[in-house]
Amino acid sequence: MLGSLTLGGYDTSKFEPHSLTWALAPANDRDLVIQLQSIKSGTTSLLPEVIPVFLDSTVPYIFLPATACALFETAFGLTWDNETQLYLLMDAQHASLKAKNPSITFSIGNLTSTTTVDITLPYAAFDLTATYPLVENATRYFPLKRANEVEQYTLGRTFFQEA
C-alpha cells in the first residue's frame, strides 16, 4: 500500500464511517483517553478486561496490564528481557511470526458507550528494531510494555502508524 500525507484533515480513502465520537478527558495531562474493549488475535483473547487507555503518539509502545502481557507472551511466544525492558525477538522467532502473519484486532470505544470500532493490525506493525542505546546491536522487538498502574495504559505510535 502506498503511503499518504494529509495536513489539516484526513484521507477519506482510509476512513470507515461509524457513529462513534470521542470527547477529551477532563484531566489536562491525559487529553485523549478511550476505552479498550478487547484485543484479539484470531479467536484468542489478549485482554482479560475492559480498560481505559491513553493515546500517545510520542512513544512507540503499547502499555498494557501484566495479565494482558502474559496472554501476548503465550499467544506469540514472547519473552521479557529484564535488562532492556523489551520483548526481544530472536531471528527464528521473528521468521516464524512473519510466516504466520497473525493479525491483532483492537476494539475501541469511548468511555460512555458500548459501541466499538475494530482496528486490525498485521504482524508487520509490531515488527520493530531496537538500536543503541537500548541494545548494543540492532535487535528486533515486539513493542509491548508492562504497565504497573492504570495511568500507564497507553496505545502508542505502533498503533497509530497502522490504524
- pLDDT surpasses 50 at 1: no
Distance, CA of 70 to CA of 28 (rounded, Å): 31
| Average pLDDT over every residue of 92-111 | 92
- Cα angle 99-105-108, degrees, rounded to a multiple of 5: 160
Which alpha helices (H) appear in the chain, and where do they start and end? 66-76, 91-100, 157-162
CATH at residue 110: 2.40.70.10
Q: Which of 8-12, 47-51, 133-137, 158-162 has the lowest mean pLDDT?
A: 8-12
Burial 18-51, CB ≥16 within 10 A → b, else e: eeeebeeeeeeebeebbbbbbbbbeeeebbeeeb
DSSP category for residue 100: H
Confidence of residue 7 (pLDDT cuts 50, 70, 90): low
What nine digits make up the cell of 130?
A: 531496537
At 51-91, the pLDDT tens digits run: 999 999 889 999 999 999 999 999 999 999 999 999 999 99
| Average pLDDT over every residue of 133-154 | 94
Q: Is residue 20 part of a domain?
A: no
- Please give the mean pLDDT across all residues of the chain: 87
pLDDT at site 110: 81
Q: Is residue 14 part of a domain?
A: no
Q: Is residue 138 part of a domain?
A: yes
Q: Is residue 122 part of a domain?
A: yes
Number of structural domains (the chain) is 1
Q: Find, among 106, 126, 115, the residue nearest to 36 by Cα.
A: 106
pLDDT at site 5: 56
DSSP category for residue 116: -
Q: Is residue 45 part of a domain?
A: yes
Domain range enclosing 92: 34-162
Measured CA to CA in angstroms, residue 13 lies from 3, 68, 107, 121 at distances of: 12, 33, 21, 17
Q: Is residue 8 part of a domain?
A: no
| Average pLDDT over every residue of 125-136 | 92
- pLDDT surpasses 60 at 2: no
Q: Is residue 18 part of a domain?
A: no
Distance, CA of 45 to CA of 133 (rounded, Å): 34
Question: Cell numbers 505502533 correspond to what residue?
Answer: 158
Q: Is residue 25 part of a domain?
A: no
**Overall pTM > 0.85:** no
